[in-house]
Structure 1
């Protein structure tokens, strides 16, 4: 079921399935839609939340307390029905809790709450993970919003660029079948603009670790239209599109990352895994501004 937030500038729609952002429209720009419409020919999602995993596990399996569990890429929250907790004129909050189905593949008690707050042209997305159980909770969480690129029919994918908040030197961490290989490749050397091309994504997503920038803007060099994603305090970031011709790009701030091709299969040893003791909470926010 879709729920809507609206003000004089923008209109946002969020689905209870996955608590997923479906639409982010600038009303004052001829109803310009910024979120990818999930066309199945390329990718049938809009902006899924990744929980309790970010990325892939080797053989889609992990070990915990002597047992082996199967869990697919990016976890299961994106395919589950959330409960609406709060609906106000400018904010929505949704919740997902552990149940019999989740415990079969993920033996932890949890409460996951997603909030959406709209102010002007900025949507702030909040995450809260609570451990209501009697044992340690292990998890990762990440965002995967897909933005239309190009935004306007007279533009192309290559008319766009990614603009960092200051000049950066970046190396990407390479993937093989969704797993980190341990190898890196240079992307930028003290520059703040990365021109988009499909060739950039020929070796899968661009994955960055422990960077020092806090926001990234997808901007058209022709129209000047842009989307800015702010992610203070996030240790990992992914950039992705579905291959040549796909008319979208994802800017993905993560608290977690794909597993390595080698190493321990214990969930507790997985890079980027967060831990909550009974009664503890994890909270963070990121934001999207459409311009």
Structure 2
């Protein structure tokens, strides 16, 4: 049995449920369209810093923030278009703006559709007309995120897109990684290193970009929780970023369509012609064993 309930917490929160599977999803449209919570069999899959979440001045650290129209940051938060500089902060604006719920479905799955349209605020920093439509689908132990990017401008629309999921992990030394790449770039030093499947969690921060991925599927097994998480993404997501901080009970495995600064360099940037659209999906599966 599938259902969608609405709770007025600090923000209006949509709660998608698959009662048979014991899975639940919480979505807060006005706080960047974010999924704040995902439970499977009563277990929390996502981490959420609730103190930061309650402060609208701070970026959300937790759940599954949306990255659009850039992933990562730009040098001095600046890019140039047709000779004119624009300021765009890290990961873009989609995670900060309110999204509008346009559809709900509770037959065969629990699904919620949200829309972000360009407006004067977005065009001041990103001078394009666009519409982004996401549908979150909860069914059993899977979370599917369908995306539709539509260029409503009379000029080509350049963008990159991705997600920044925060996965809950109490003991990171109990994690086993299956990341389909043999090398990564340290995003701090820009050095490229070979990857043997392990991370040094004694470091204060790990910020690694895996750009040469050989598969669109990655997984992390948490032996302390007996949980295997699998991330499957469409071909547009050309790299995976792993990020974590020492002493924090989370790790992030982020599908990005293009690397940092692609709006300036053009590297792996997606460009939609006027009137064109692009669809993509990301699927997360949580298996307990």
TM-score (norm 1): 0.84
User: Measured at CA, do residues 268 and 169 of structure 1 come closer, stay the same or move farther in structure 2, by a change above 3 Å?
Assistant: closer
How far apart, CA to CA, are the structure 2 residues paired with 1:110 and 1:224? 42
- 1:15 is matched with 28
- 1:277 is matched with 273
How far apart, CA to CA, are the structure 1 residues paired with 2:239 and 2:86? 25
How far apart, CA to CA, are the structure 1 residues paired with 2:255 and 2:77? 22
- How is 1:252-267 mapped onto 2 (pairs within 5 angstroms)? 252-259=254-261, 267=263
How far apart, CA to CA, are the structure 2 residues paired with 1:47 and 1:280? 27
**In structure 1, which of residues 67, 75, 88 is the aligned counterpart of residue 92 of structure 2?**
75
**In structure 1, which of residues 109, 127, 130 is the aligned counterpart of residue 147 of structure 2?**
127
How far apart, CA to CA, are the structure 1 residues paired with 2:13 and 2:224? 33
Q: CA deviation at 1:3?
A: 1.1
Task: Tell me if structure 1 keeps the 8 A contact 2:206–2:242.
Answer: no
Q: Match of 2:187, SS? A: strand
How far apart, CA to CA, are the structure 1 residues paired with 2:102 and 2:52? 34
Q: CA deviation at 1:213?
A: 2.1
User: Measured at CA, do residues 85 and 103 of structure 1 come closer, stay the same or move farther in structure 2, by a change above 3 Å?
Assistant: same
Q: CA deviation at 1:64?
A: 0.3
**In structure 2, which of residues 171, 174, 182 is the aligned counterpart of residue 170 of structure 1?**
182
Task: Tell me if structure 2 keeps the 8 A contact 1:215–1:232.
Answer: no
Query: Which ranges in structure 1 are unaligned for 5 or more consecutive residues?
Result: 151-155, 189-193, 261-266
Greater relative contact order (CA < 8 Å, ≥ 6 in sequence): 1
Residues 63-108 of structure 1: per-residue CA shift (max 9 Å, x gap): 0012101111100100000000111111111000110111111111
Q: Cα RMSD (Å) of the superposition?
A: 2.0
User: Measured at CA, do residues 105 and 223 of structure 1 come closer, stay the same or move farther in structure 2, by a change above 3 Å?
Assistant: closer
Q: Match of 1:158, SS? A: helix
- 2:239 is matched with 236
- How is 1:12-161 mapped onto 2 (pairs within 5 angstroms)? 12-16=25-29, 17-26=31-40, 28=41, 31-40=42-51, 44-89=61-106, 90-150=110-170, 156-161=171-176
Q: CA deviation at 1:221?
A: 2.2
Q: CA deviation at 1:259?
A: 2.4
Q: Does 2:289 correspond to 1:286? A: no
